[in-house]
Every structure is written in structure tokens, then in C-alpha cells.
């Protein structure tokens, strides 16, 4: 009878592929749920940013609309663009929520250039925590 050869590399690769597949599935579910409830999440996020004095703005409605637009486009973003967007702050938390990372980076890089935004206060971790307090419900 032949001896069955179990390669540790093969087993490791199979485990890695399984983990990657689950993460991708979790991310797709989070993106779809965020898109389906974009109006509510955008309103909560805009209010949270203003209440915690992270964003100083002249128009809360414009900020809410900008967040809602990003939430609606979240499902259409490709993997490369997403990874490039979150790369600078990927290590900010132990097990980060990818939606929270995306919005943290969006606030730091893009929203600051909006004419209704007067200033963004706090460091990256403070902004991430405030954003994650809204998007925490997305994780299973």
C-alpha cells in the first residue's frame, strides 16, 4: 500500500485560500449592506463626525450627501483601488473594518478638499474610532 504524502505547503495554501475567500465574502456582504442602507449610514456618520468635533463644516447636509455618494459607490470599487486607498492606514487597528478604513482615509484625503469643510480635527486613530463606531454593525 502506498503512503499518502501530505504536504505542509499544500495544506497551508489551502488554508490561506479558505481564509481569503471568507474575507472576500464578508467584504462583499458589508459593501452590499452599506449600499442598501446608505442614507441611514451617511446621516449617522455625518452626525457622529460633527458631534465628536472631528469635522468642522458650514453644511452638514453636503457632508451627508458626500458620505452617501461614497457608500453608493462602495460596491463598484475594484480591489486595487480599495487597497491603494486604505494602504496608508491599514495597520491602524488590530482587526480593522475595511469600510471604516475606507471612510477614514476618505475623510483624511478627499473630504478635506470639499469647500464646505473648514477643518478636520484629530489624528487617524481618533477618526477611525469615530467612523468605526458607526460601521461596527456591518461586521457579522
Q: pLDDT per residue over 60-110, tens digit each?
A: 999 999 999 999 998 888 889 988 999 899 888 888 889 999 999 999 999
Distances (CA, A) of 132 to 42, 55, 62, 65, 96: 13, 15, 21, 19, 9
Distances (CA, A) of 78 to 28, 33, 37, 83: 11, 17, 20, 9
Distances (CA, A) of 7 to 1, 3, 4, 14, 132: 19, 12, 10, 11, 40
From 21-25, 32-36, 63-67, the region with the lowest mean pLDDT: 21-25
Residue 5 has pLDDT above 70, yes or no: no
Average pLDDT over residues 114-130: 92
Residue 4 has pLDDT above 80, yes or no: no
Global pTM?
A: 0.83
Amino acid at each position: 500500500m502506498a503512503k499518502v504524502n501530505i504536504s505542509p505547503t499544500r495544506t497551508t495554501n489551502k488554508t490561506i485560500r479558505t481564509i481569503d475567500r471568507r474575507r472576500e465574502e464578508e467584504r462583499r456582504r458589508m459593501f452590499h449592506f452599506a449600499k442598501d442602507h446608505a442614507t441611514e449610514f451617511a446621516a449617522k456618520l455625518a452626525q457622529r463626525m460633527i458631534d465628536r468635533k472631528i469635522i468642522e463644516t458650514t453644511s452638514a447636509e453636503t457632508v451627508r450627501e458626500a458620505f452617501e455618494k461614497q457608500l453608493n459607490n462602495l460596491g463598484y470599487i475594484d480591489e486595487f483601488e480599495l487597497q491603494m486607498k486604505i494602504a496608508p492606514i491599514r495597520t491602524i487597528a488590530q482587526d480593522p473594518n475595511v469600510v471604516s478604513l475606507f471612510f477614514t482615509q476618505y475623510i483624511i484625503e478627499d473630504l478635506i478638499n470639499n469647500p464646505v469643510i473648514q477643518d478636520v480635527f484629530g489624528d487617524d486613530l481618533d477618526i477611525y474610532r469615530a467612523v468605526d463606531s458607526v460601521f461596527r454593525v456591518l461586521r457579522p
